[in-house]
Structure 1
């Protein structure tokens, strides 16, 4: 990889967008009147991620529209719609149009809720969250950036594959929606859902509930309530019969089971390694390079954050070493000393604008993390360009696959090079953005942001210049905050771009373009 100089690109448009986005929690969109830009009749032929093809999951054929069972379902639907409460009507408004956005918002909300560092015990020791005892204390999970991006990847990949399967059967059976069959039924959709079997919304509801429940077990009741509300809204929208919904649930259940089976064996359960393993990585770096990172936070946690996340299974890269960046400058070298001078200059000249940038991109505890930040941007563009659920799911799937692969590559570099942070080696140095509990090189924010920006630039080429400018701003923000060396950010940006290319190459060949 080439070490490129980050150029901070700020414009009035950039600042307007950034100030308009919520950081702590997702922004709940009102998307009534959301007419899809396309319907993708060939979407069932796109190449999925986890399954071989759209017909890999089986569902029964629907009853004919002239059958007694179908006609009875129509009557049952009209009765249910006639008895709708105001709460039902509000739920229909919330869930219709593009439920991919709604479940992404729920995921970001849970990530922010659980993004809290477990505190020390009275004796100064630490107890880690345990999925076998989610109530803790401390409660499981700690939704730090590696955990968050993995949640978002499995959620969006399950949604995407499930919708490819749904689209396959929609255009195989071509059963018209209830409001097409009976003109007395008024639908909440805007001519977006002419084919109803199976219900793509039901696929999303069931797959999302199952994946998120596995990732956030203490939220099982809340997520079940959201699924129930979503499924009822599909019926009351006038666009689906109960049999449409049941077929969609079958697909959602099947694809989420497949996704969670992969998750169970992807290596994440070993990422938060014990102290002996963590210490061995530091010793290996000391022997290899003559340095290692030391945690200087107070109180000091005995083990760095997820030392073995770099060994988790990647989505689009065969071997993480393919994406390992060039070594950082040797401590004491000319390049190192130049960076020391640069960081001291930033610390001595903290302008209002630099502090704003550092704070905006902090994405620390209690927020939806850097990967969540880029999901928020994706949602903005999905609404702007009126993507249908299938294309929305594709956007989130490739975005989060790329960022998860980027995070894995970044953590591999962090614990392979085990490079000290500025606060550890520059005497008297202070940060304005905390002290992360893992090595410095490369910058996670830089890698996540560059990977996310490249995917969004591919899917939304009209936005390429602005998303790449945001990624560079995110990278330099960590330098302004005193958290990272400049080369952590520059090389991390290149690393994120390089890793994202593997994902984008997969997207180029999935049949959607």
Structure 2
């Protein structure tokens, strides 16, 4: 009887431990630009006992600046701070590489996180605070093994990707990466060797994926040709004229969902000129032209669902959104420069828009494509908020009509294109193994 009770106690204890683990099988999830996480499994770490003193010393030497760094890097998923940084960079990047930098930062972070999880659960190295009671954890205790450090993995990826695309920031991102790594040691969440191994793993995968995608952005300059027909956009310096020639990730090619050509915009122009502005319509137009951030919305939803505590699942969402954004951009620009759709202020030179007209063709609307994608993809990850996301899609598209820089046809076509791209990404991620793991976890 006593033996049976001891066995039952051990089983219950093991079950409780397993339940607390964060995605113990995430190392088997399907990756994007590497064959598998297992291909990057790290060698077995040495004993952590020699590193306990280093962690204790880091905690004893903590000053106000060090505590501030711990708090800074405790926030969000491992890629959260880097997501904010690349978001500010690529959205203002007028080169053709901006959208690729965003894609690679998030996809490489996901792939490297999956590789890290394969290593973590191959060796199950304890966290410093679990290995020695003298070490105090500074923050929420991560329920995953210590080796390699997932925050350092993200830092290795991000510092490599950002330095590559924005070399003037190379020193800054390297310092940020070092601060992130040091913060995990001082927080009692990682041994020094965990951070070094994580950083090198992230860097290695980032470099591999930079090489793999080196020809994704169409490199040849625009040949200057445009359709020789009336009623086309005739701006002198078109932005991203070869953007639709970039390689895609999920789509077979940029024209997979290319819409048909627009009809004459006469009815659209009449509707636009007859539209009566209100305070609300102007506010919506200015909001989506200047303040709306899909990254802020995504991070908010991840915090609300506590997904920032689940590094593999958070990285998966970031990667899926980055891929959908990239393929949406390429698809949208393919259509823009296939048809050279005219803008309202060119169709009728007497018409004045509420906001400045962007320097590229209007059909389809880029805002509508992106918000259409958001309405579908975000709803896949956060189904309880589907109505909110659908409203964002509608309001985002309508804002361009209200701003006077797009015809309604541009917007309706853009929404449809964005939804199609999102659904293609959803079909791909539904085969990566993460949903199966989630179903099994719920059954348990």
Same fold? TM cut 0.5? yes
* Alignment partners' CA distance in 2, 1:312 and 1:38: 40
SS in 1 for 2:79: helix
**CA shift for structure 1 position 111:** 4.0
Q: Distance between the aligned counterparts of 2:374 and 2:194, measured in 1?
A: 35
2:281 is equivalent to residue 359 of structure 1: no
Contact 2:234 2:342 in 1 (8 A): yes
Paired residue for 1:192, among 142, 164, 174?
A: 142
Q: Give the match for residue 131 of structure 2.
A: 181
Aligned to 2:272: 343
Please list every run of 5 or more consecutive structure 1 residues that lacks an aligned counterpart in the other structure. 1-35, 65-69, 116-140, 296-301
Calculate the TM-score normalised by the size of structure 2. Answer: 0.89
Q: Which residue of 2 aligns with 1:61?
A: 44
TM-score by length of 1: 0.78
Matches within 5 A, 1:114-153: 115=92, 141-142=93-94, 147-153=97-103
Q: What is the DSSP-based 3-state SS (H/G/I as helix, E as strand, rest coil) of the residue aligned with 2:82?
A: helix
Give, in angstroms, the shift of residue 338 of structure 1.
Answer: 2.1
Partner Cα distance (1:447, 1:147) in 2 = 19
Q: In the alignment, is residue 485 of structure 1 matched against residue 407 of structure 2?
A: yes
**Partner of residue 56 from structure 2, selected from 78, 98, 104:** 78
Quick one: distance in 1 between partners of 2:286 and 2:424? Answer: 31
Count of residue pairs brought into register by the alignment: 414
CA distance in 1 between partners of 2:189 and 2:432 (Å): 29
Contact 1:57-1:254 at 8 Å conserved across structures? no
Distance (whole Å) between structure 2 residues aligned to residue 179 and residue 464 of structure 1 = 40
- The answer to whether the Cα contact below 8 Å between 2:142 and 2:189 also exists between their aligned partners in 1 is no
Contact 2:246 2:254 in 1 (8 A): no
Shift of 1:193: 4.0
Instruction: Calculate the aligned-residue CA RMSD, in Å.
Output: 1.8
Q: 1:247 to 1:189 in 2, by over 3 A?
A: same
Q: 2 CA distance for matches of 1:505 and 1:232?
A: 39
Alignment of 1:375 onto 2:353: no
- Give the C-alpha shift of residue 58 in structure 1: 3.9
1:38 is displaced (CA, Å) by: 7.2
3-state SS in 1 of match to 2:176: helix
Deviation at 1:81, TM superposition (A): 1.2
Contact kept? 1:419, 1:440, Cα under 8 Å: yes
Alignment partner of 1:475 is 2:420: no
- 1:430 shift after superposition: 0.5
Q: Which residue of 2 aligns with 1:18?
A: none
Deviation at 1:503, TM superposition (A): 0.7
The match for 1:249 is: 199
Q: Which residue of 2 aligns with 1:100?
A: 79
Q: 1: distance between equivalents of 2:20 and 2:304?
A: 10
The CA distance in 1 between the partners of 2:107 and 2:82, in whole Å, is 13
The equivalent residue for 2:4 is none
Deviations for 1:222-259, whole angstroms, at most 9, x for unmatched residues?
Answer: 21121111111111110111111111112101111122
Aligned residues of 1:282 and 1:293 also touching (Cα < 8 A): no
Distance 1:351 1:494, change over 3 A: same
- Report the secondary structure of 2:341's partner residue: coil
Structure number with higher helix proportion: 2
- Larger relative CO (CA 8 A, sep 6+): 1 or 2? 1
SS in 1 for 2:43: coil
- Contact kept? 1:307, 1:415, Cα under 8 Å: yes
Contact 1:187 1:239 in 2 (8 A): yes
CA contact (8 A) 1:180 1:194 kept: no
Change in Cα spacing, 1:320 to 1:262, as seen in structure 2 (3 Å) is: same
Instruction: Report the alpha carbon displacement of residue 280 of structure 1 after superposing the two structures with TM.
Output: 1.3
2:187 is equivalent to residue 267 of structure 1: no
Matching of residue 89 in structure 1 with residue 67 in structure 2:
yes
Structure 1 distance, partners of 2:227, 2:39, is 45
| In structure 2, C-alpha distance between the alignment counterparts of 1:190 and 1:244, rounded to whole Å | 18
Look up the match of 1:164.
Answer: 114
Are 2:89 and 2:98, in contact at CA under 8 Å, matched by a contact in 1?
no
Unaligned runs of 5+ in 2: 1-18, 436-444
Preserved CA contact (<8 Å) 1:282 1:415: no
Residue 39 (structure 1) shift: 1.4
SS in 2 for 1:362: helix
Which residue pairs with 1:294 in the alignment?
234
Is the 1:375–1:396 Cα contact (8 Å) retained in structure 2?
no
Q: Distance in 2 between matches of 1:416 and 1:38?
A: 50
Between the aligned partners of 2:58 and 2:72, the Cα distance in structure 1 is: 18
- Aligned with 1:500 (options 412, 418, 422): 422
**2-structure distance, mates of 1:416, 1:194:** 49
| 1:310 aligned onto 2:232 | no
Is the counterpart of residue 455 in structure 1 residue 434 in structure 2?
no
State the match for 1:281 in structure 2: 226
1:461 and 1:411 map into 2 onto residues whose CA distance is 29
Out of 13, 33, 39, the residue aligned to residue 50 of structure 1 is 33
